[in-house]
Amino acid sequence: MDKPHEGEMLMALLRQHRRTQADLANALGIQPSAVTKYVKAQTLGDRAWLSVKEGLARLNIPSTSIRDEPVVMARERNPMFGRDLRPLVSEWSRDHLRSLRDILNASPEDRRSLVYWIDAKLER
């Protein structure tokens, strides 16, 4: 027997917790038609999954029966290694990520110059 797709698992999870698609839509502040798209999806895209996960959390429903949480390595949890910046750029295009890599590889003087330029743009 085939494993149910993520949309089916979402619907089953809502039913199990006596919740409706409208409850999830209200928790997220979105239109019910968006939730309908979620429950029809074979696999939820990254943004859809983040929305579903957030909405389920607001309804006190664990999302792990749909998708397991990624394993976080001890190195990533260790504050000595700094905070995880990946969520800040996870939605960026490949071109933007290449540009970021170029910035990170630039000289300290070039990065400092860019920071001044960005600060000036943000103050406008």
What CATH number does residue 24 fall under? 1.10.260
Res 13 pLDDT > 90: yes
Q: Would 52 be classed as within a structural domain?
A: yes
**Average model confidence (pLDDT) for the chain?**
85
pLDDT of residue 85: 78
89 with 49, same domain: the answer is no
45 with 88, same domain: the answer is no
DSSP annotation of 41 = -
pLDDT of residue 124: 80
**Domain ranges, residue 53:** 6-58
Res 75 pLDDT > 90: no
54 with 88, same domain: the answer is no
10 with 54, same domain: the answer is yes
Domain count, the chain: 2
Distances, alpha carbon 50 to alpha carbons 55, 69, 88, 91, 101, in Å = 9, 12, 14, 12, 25
Cα distance between residue 78 and residue 61, in whole Å: 28
